[in-house]
Structure formats: structure tokens, C-alpha cells
Structure 1
Amino acid sequence: MRVHFIAIGGSAMHNLAIALSKKGYQVTGSDDTIHDPSKSRLAKYGLLPEEFGWFTEKITETLDVVILGMHAKKDNPELLKAQKLGVKIYSYPEFLYEQSKHKTRVVIGGSHGKTTITSMILHVLNYHEKEVDYMVGAQLDGFETMVHLTEENEFIVLEGDEYLSSPIDMRPKFHLYKPNIALLSGIAWDHINVFPTFENYVEQFSIFTNSLTNGGIMVYNEEDTTVKDVVEASEHAIKKYSYNTPNHSIENGITFIDTPDGLMPLEIFGEHNLQNLAGAKWICQHMGIDEDDFYEAIASFKGANKRLEKVTESDSTVIFKDFAHSPSKVQATTTAVKNQYANRTLLACLELHTYSSLNAEFLAEYKGALSNADKAVVFYSPDAVKIKQLEEVSEEQIAKAFERDDLLIYTNPQEFKEFLFAKNLKDTALLLMSSGNYGGLDFEEVRQLI
């Protein structure tokens, strides 16, 4: 099969391109710019375009499929030519469904936790040498790529993102997978540029719940009231299995979970991660992994990339970076670190980086998100506001939104870095939360802080 990727450099797109190439497909692609790690990984597999840009001559009737990425625009010249020629065009979630129509599809959805839960499931299955196809949103230890596709595997595990599928398909990605087994971890308003109201956002999860195959299985977090309402209100013919936070304790900075064989130490921590673990256990059991085997494997799970990732640690200091940026994620992550290191000062730094977080109206959603930090810092770049063509937000608006009189606010990357590197971090837990990099902060340098 000959497949061409329009916007091949995206995180999911380049991994799908590599997976199809390894499967024996003829793969080509284009993009106007590609950054690492996508660039070097595509080059490794001989898939990096010779030059950046859009080239209509790459689109011919000999192509079987064109896969269109979100990064492309509706007027992309390659897309227009493919439409003119009548070449079959898929978004990547559509194509993944086509690749898995005859498999048991396991889809992990939710505003938060889906990458971690998917990673936990794959870690357990890999530990027990159970081969499955998959697509996950983070690079995992022991896995070469984030997408793996075969003809023979019975199951495919998919991270179910609620963002849009492609520039010409405005359906959320997770509406296209038609799961046999699914999970919902939590619902907290996000992507306000696409879902302008909370009610509109929640509706997408109702549609997802009702997209399960008849007789399918929905595993859901009953401690999230919105998830509970969505799943339990569904009249679709599915089986429903709820989960909640398992019993646990914290001793000397280590979390122990209560199992049928007694207390077991974990590499991860935080109530949100323990909820994630409980959800992953249900899914693994539905995939044929019994409870004892699940606990044996999960004991060595260290977390998904950029999710409460330990940068460095000494006897008196620990530094974490985390992808958290939405209000619920920021609050959960901050609370988890404070509970884990109760006897240390928690310095929590948040970069407002996404469209939602830099939106003046949405800022109010951050009320109390940093309340569990002993010291709190917010960084944002006025340039990012301009690039996203948003109204300017002021330091006063941010201070008011977070409701912290002592909140420190930085808009200059160098000044933020100078603040950070001047701190005495003895007896401190430093938490750096962002989907960006604070205007160019070098995390290798951050390691030298202790």
C-alpha cells in the first residue's frame, strides 16, 4: 500500500508513519517544518522529506491513501490536489480504526490521566510479554515507537484524545474508534477554542460513551462526578465497571498500595495516579491479566514521559517536571507532590502556555489550582499571547484568577531563570509544570540546581 502523510512531522503522525513503514507500506510525507525528536526519528527510518514545504507533484493517482494531520490547513495545496484526484483521505484516528476493525479495540479517554493509564496498561502487558497493537501519546521505556500495528495481534490499545481529527473532520478523535472496551478517567473543561462551553465539552464524552459497540465494557472513575453522571446516564447497551482511589499510605516519601498480599511500594505517587492505577487494573483484567500479575508488573512502573517526571534528587531536594497545564491537572499534580513531601517546602511553578490557559475568560478556572503550594510562581510570555492572537492578559488578571496574594508572576524568561537559580532549594520540592519550556529553560541546567 502506498501512503502519503500531509504534515508528517506531528507527534502522532510521524509515529504512525514509522509504524506503517515497519509494516511494509510505502510511506512518503511532507511538512513545512519538522523539529526533533520527530525529525531525527523520521531520518532514522528514511522517511524525512528531502526538503520542507508542500509539493503537489507528490500527490498522484497511484497513492492508495493520504493521511491528513491537524497541523495542515484546509487550503493546503497537497490536500486540494488529493481532493481533486479523488484519492482516499483519512485523518489518523480514521486510519487507525480502519487498521483495527477486526481487533478488540481498547480506548482510554478523559481530560486527564489517559496517557498515564494507557502507559500503565502497556507496561503491564509488556512485562508479561503479551503482544498488542497500540497508540499512546508519550514515549515509553521499553517501547521503540508510540504506534505499533500488526496483522496478527488480537487487541489494540488506543489513547482516546477528545481534540479534533483533522482540518476537514471536526469530530473529536475518540468518536471514531468504536471501542469494545473503554475507560473514562475524568472530565474537566479543556480546549475552549473548540468547545466553547462546559456543556458542549461534556457532550463529547456522552457521544464517546454511546459509541461503544453493543455489549461493550465501560470502566469509569466514580469519584469524578461528571464522569459518573455521563456514564450512568447512558442507556446504551454496555457493561459498566466503576473504580476509585485504592487504599494506600505514604512513608518516608514512598507510597504503598494495599493489595490482597499486603502493602506494596510504588514508584509513582499522588491520588490521581492511584486512581489511574485502579482504572488500568480493571482494563488489564478485561484483557486477561489477573490481579496478582497486574500488581507484580505495576510495581516497576515509573510513570509516563513528562508526567511527574523526576528531574533530579538529593537528600534534601527533589525536582519534578510535569506536562500539567489545565486547572484540574495543575491542582492534582501540586496536591500530589505536597502530600508526598509534606515536610518540605513546595515551590510550584506553572507556565501558562496553551490557548485555554492564556484566555482571559478561562483564567478564572485556575481558582485555587496552586493553593497547596507553599510558594507559587506563574510564568507566561506576552509573545505567546500575540502568536495565538488572543487579547492581552495582565499580571493583575492572573493574580486575581489564582486568588493568591503572594503569587509571583514572571513574563521575562531570563528573569524567571534568575529567580529559579538564585533560590536555596534545601528541604524543598520544586515542581515545574508546563506544556512548553518557560521561554527556553534548559532542564540539563536545572539538574545543577542541587
Structure 2
Amino acid sequence: MHTKKQRVHFIAIGGSVMHNLAIALKDAGHDVSGSDDEIFEPSRSTLTKHGLLPEKEGWRPDIITSSIDVIVLGMHARKDNPELLKAQQLGLKILSFPEYIFEQSHEKQRVVIAGSHGKTTTTAIIIHVLNYFKRDFDYVIGAKVPGIENTVKLSDAPIIIIEGDEYLCSALDPTPKFLKYQHHIGVITGISWDHVNVFPSEDEYVRQFDLFADQTPKSGILIYCEQDSLALMIGKKERADVLEISYKSHSHASDNTGHFFLTNGKERTPIKIFGSHNFQNLNAAKEVLKKIGISQEQFFEAISSFEGASGRLEKVLDNATATVYKDFAHAPSKVKATVKAMKEAHPSRDLVACLELHTYSSLNKKFLPHYKDSMKAAQTQVVYFNPDKVKDKNLEALLESDVRSAFASNHIQVFTKPDELQSFLEQQTWKNKNLLMMSSGNFGGINIRALSEKILS
């Protein structure tokens, strides 16, 4: 990482990783500024806490001057952004955040966790275990993890753990972010078509992961899930002088109280996360950790205290007969895995699974059929979407009948107004029944904590 103090300006500072990178650089002593046309929570509060919230929302080309050493450009900023145009006019150095991360870590050993699902939790497990043993390392992750202050850390540590997103770098660079990091150890947790706005076909989407795997250098390591057909196809492809390691779900058990354990011979290690997909994530993390100096015995010692990443099957509230969870799941494969995990954890309880269609892909009528049967493990299936969001994304209007048809269920409950959704949930009988709220948005402003307190009181 640069020891010389830099002046860094963030265009679109409100992004989830962007604002955390800005905080990390300020904490390291750099002169940091930023701008955005909209900043939502929790970014707004976090930026305010660290004195980095812009004075006002909007783009201000007048603050872009030749005194700036580097511009970090977020994906939210368009090519015609007035600050970007001014920076180009002045000939300033302009980097996307993955390019900036690489520039700060090109002398480190780089571990990159990629995948359509599971990458956040896998990265979080690795971070937790390394923290547990007080290892010196840097990281970039897309969610909060208990025990770390910020989701980005850049220092003089010899290794960096990076959650590698396949979405594009910026308006100037339509390259998947994970290709910018040039990993030494790469992981593919699983592949399921997403981001149809930039990858209009499944083949084009899958090809990005093939490029990622091919980028593994000689003497590098590629770790992939053999239980995912696309990851297996890409992972087992022969690559000269690359060590390829496959993994599957870690052996596990549960007891009649619903608690889960990792098994190692006759030994059982209690764990706080659950679900078939998470047993895969646990083994992916263990394989990475073995290659960077953490033994199997050390892994089992540390893993019992791992509580999960924020928003990933996160328990909101519970009582003796019901529990409310929230999850970031939004893509079909994530929704299916999360609903299945909830039923595995509480097989004797009915499940109300509630999904918000929020992303470009999920609101796309042509893509929507990929959600078929994704919530069939739930006794009550609920879908919410905001028709205004469909218009904002210039997509064909969605009807409630379109949703029912796509999910292949005539019994699914469809809502387009948050107050009607909340009223429906409040009117349910919450005895021996769990609620799962899945979204990358906020259900039109529903306060899930307050809702949980009301229905479980």
C-alpha cells in the first residue's frame, strides 16, 4: 500500500465497497473526498461517522482539480458524469475500485473468492479464522463480519483476501471486477446465471468464470465446488502448472434440538451457521486456509465462534416457537438454497418465505422463469415488487399473474405495496412458524426489526 499521502476523490462514494474503501484510506492517513447523487443507509450513517459524507448530494465538477492524485470511479457513475468528464479533461489518474485495490496489493499474495453465490460467506469464514489466530492480512468483503470494524483493510500485510464480484468495474471499463485482481489462489463456489443486463446469455455469463480460472498463474491454485456442474466443468479443465482442488459439502450432523455440527472422524464441532450451501462454503474456506498456513485442527478450533456475515441467514429475533431471519438472497440459486436451508434447520416448523424482486434480473419478465420452484420448500410463499422500480429500469411491466406463472405456483402471495405486505405478515399466526425475508433491497422501507418485534410479541 502507498505510504506516501495521496489525495483521493471517490465518484459515487455511496457504494457498499466504495464508502468502506474511502474510510480505509482516510484511516491510513490519506486526504479523501467524495460525491454521489444518492446515498442510502447504512452508507450515509457510516460516512457521517467518519466525516466523509459529502456536504450535499449531486455532482460538483468544480471540486475536481489537478491537486487530486487519483480518482476512484464507482460503477454507479455514468460515462457522462460531469466530475468524470472534468477529471478526464485534466488528465487525472482514474481507476475503478478493483483496479485501485490491485494497485495497493500487487506485491501481496492475493486470494480471490468468486462465485454467483457463497462468496461472501466463504470470504467471511476465512477472515474470521485468520482474525482468530491474529494473522496479519488485508481484505475486501461485501458485508459486515463480527470482529472487523470495516469491510476493507489495506496495510503492509503480506496477503489479501478478496471477495471477487463478477459485475463490471465501471462505465469506462466493462470488465468483471474479479479479473482485475490477478489472483494467486482463486475459488469458484458455484455458477448460476445472473446480471442479465450486462450478460444477456448464460454462455456469456459462464465465460467470465472460465476467464477467471484461466487467469490462475503457473504455480497458482484453483479451488472449485465439485457439486456445482458449471464450476466442476470449468475447474477440471486442464491448465499447465496449476494446482486444481475440488471440494464438496463438509461432513456434518445435527441433533434433535436443531443444532448443527461439523464432523471430523468421531469428533463433532458445533457451528452457528447451517444449510447445505454453507457446508460447501465451510469446506471451500478450509481448503483456502490450508494453503495459507492454517491447519485442519486450527480450523475446527476457530470455526465454532463464527456467527456468519451480516445479512446472510441472519437471525433478527426469535421466541420459543418462531424465528425471523433475513437474507441477502435475490438470484434464483440463492433463493432456493436459502429456503432449503431454513427448512433443514427447522423441519417441524412451517416456513413463510418472503422474497423482494429488486434487481434488474429479477424484475426482467424473460429472466423471471428461472425462479420456478425456488421457494417450493416453504409452506407460504410471498413475493413483493415495486412496479415503479420496473419502470425505472425501463423493463416491460410485470403483472401479478406473471409472477405466479414464473414461480409455477398458483398459491403464491404477490404484493406491490409494502403496507399491504406488512399487514399480511402481521395477520399470520406465528406459532411454530418461521419467517424468512429475502432481498437485496428493503421491501419498500419495511422495518424488519420492528415487524419482528410486533409479530413475535
TM-score, with length taken from structure 2: 0.96
**Shift, 1:253, TM fit:** 1.1
Q: Corresponding residue for 1:21?
A: 26
Deviations 1:414-443 (A, max 9, x none): 111111000001011211111112212111
Matched, 1:182 2:181: no
Matches of 2:108 and 2:298 in 1, distance apart? Answer: 24
Matches of 1:123 and 1:260 in 2, distance apart? Answer: 24
SS in 2 for 1:432: strand
Q: Percent identity?
A: 48
Q: 296, 305, 308: which is aligned to 1:291?
A: 296
**Contact 1:100/1:156, CA 8 A, preserved across alignment:** yes
**Contact 1:115/1:304, CA 8 A, preserved across alignment:** yes
Q: 335, 338, 353: which is aligned to 2:340?
A: 335
Q: 306, 309, 331: which is aligned to 2:311?
A: 306
| AA of the residue aligned to 2:284 | G
Matches of 1:36 and 1:415 in 2, distance apart? Answer: 24
Q: Corresponding residue for 1:418?
A: 423
**Shift, 1:72, TM fit:** 0.9
Q: Corresponding residue for 2:248?
A: 244
**Contact 1:209/1:234, CA 8 A, preserved across alignment:** no
Q: 37, 55, 61: which is aligned to 1:32?
A: 37
Q: Corresponding residue for 1:388?
A: 393
**Contact 2:223/2:235, CA 8 A, preserved across alignment:** no
Q: Corresponding residue for 1:404?
A: 409
Pairing 1:239-278 to 2, within 5 Å after superposition: 239-251=243-255, 252-260=257-265, 262-278=267-283
Matched, 1:134 2:161: no
**Contact 1:116/1:276, CA 8 A, preserved across alignment:** yes
Matched residue count: 449
SS in 1 for 2:444: coil
Matched, 1:198 2:202: yes
**Shift, 1:114, TM fit:** 0.5
Matches of 2:168 and 2:265 in 1, distance apart? Answer: 42
**Contact 1:206/1:234, CA 8 A, preserved across alignment:** no
Matched, 1:89 2:97: no
**Shift, 1:260, TM fit:** 4.0
| AA of the residue aligned to 2:124 | S
Matched, 1:46 2:55: no
**Contact 1:2/1:64, CA 8 A, preserved across alignment:** yes
Q: Corresponding residue for 2:74?
A: 69
Matched, 1:172 2:172: no
**Shift, 1:24, TM fit:** 1.6
**Shift, 1:236, TM fit:** 4.6
Matched, 1:369 2:374: yes
Matches of 1:62 and 1:311 in 2, distance apart? Answer: 46
**Contact 2:273/2:308, CA 8 A, preserved across alignment:** yes
| AA of the residue aligned to 1:412 | K
Deviations 1:389-428 (A, max 9, x none): 1101111111111112221111121111111000001011
**Shift, 1:369, TM fit:** 0.3
Change beyond 3 A, Cα 1:34–1:412: closer
**Contact 1:313/1:319, CA 8 A, preserved across alignment:** yes
Unmatched runs of 5 consecutive residues or more in structure 1: none
Deviations 1:144-190 (A, max 9, x none): 11100012x11000000000001110000001000011111000000
SS in 1 for 2:443: coil
Tell which deviates more after alignment, 47-56 or 80-89.
47-56
SS in 1 for 2:236: helix
Matched, 1:219 2:235: no
**Contact 2:188/2:224, CA 8 A, preserved across alignment:** yes
Matches of 1:63 and 1:101 in 2, distance apart? Answer: 22
Unmatched runs of 5 consecutive residues or more in structure 2: 1-5
**Shift, 1:204, TM fit:** 0.2
Q: 345, 350, 358: which is aligned to 1:353?
A: 358
SS in 2 for 1:170: strand
SS in 2 for 1:330: helix
Deviations 1:58-117 (A, max 9, x none): 222222111101111101111111111111110000010000000000000000010111
Matches of 2:53 and 2:422 in 1, distance apart? Answer: 35
SS in 2 for 1:347: strand
Q: Corresponding residue for 1:440?
A: 445
| AA of the residue aligned to 2:357 | L
| AA of the residue aligned to 2:451 | V
Q: Corresponding residue for 1:319?
A: 324
SS in 1 for 2:344: helix
SS in 2 for 1:165: strand
Matches of 2:204 and 2:147 in 1, distance apart? Answer: 38
Matches of 1:392 and 1:122 in 2, distance apart? Answer: 42
Q: Corresponding residue for 2:3?
A: none
Matches of 1:86 and 1:427 in 2, distance apart? Answer: 63
RMSD over equivalenced CA pairs, Å: 1.2
Matches of 1:39 and 1:351 in 2, distance apart? Answer: 23
Q: 115, 119, 124: which is aligned to 1:114?
A: 119
| AA of the residue aligned to 2:92 | V
Q: 137, 143, 159: which is aligned to 1:155?
A: 159
**Contact 1:164/1:170, CA 8 A, preserved across alignment:** yes
**Contact 1:324/1:433, CA 8 A, preserved across alignment:** yes
**Shift, 1:261, TM fit:** 5.5
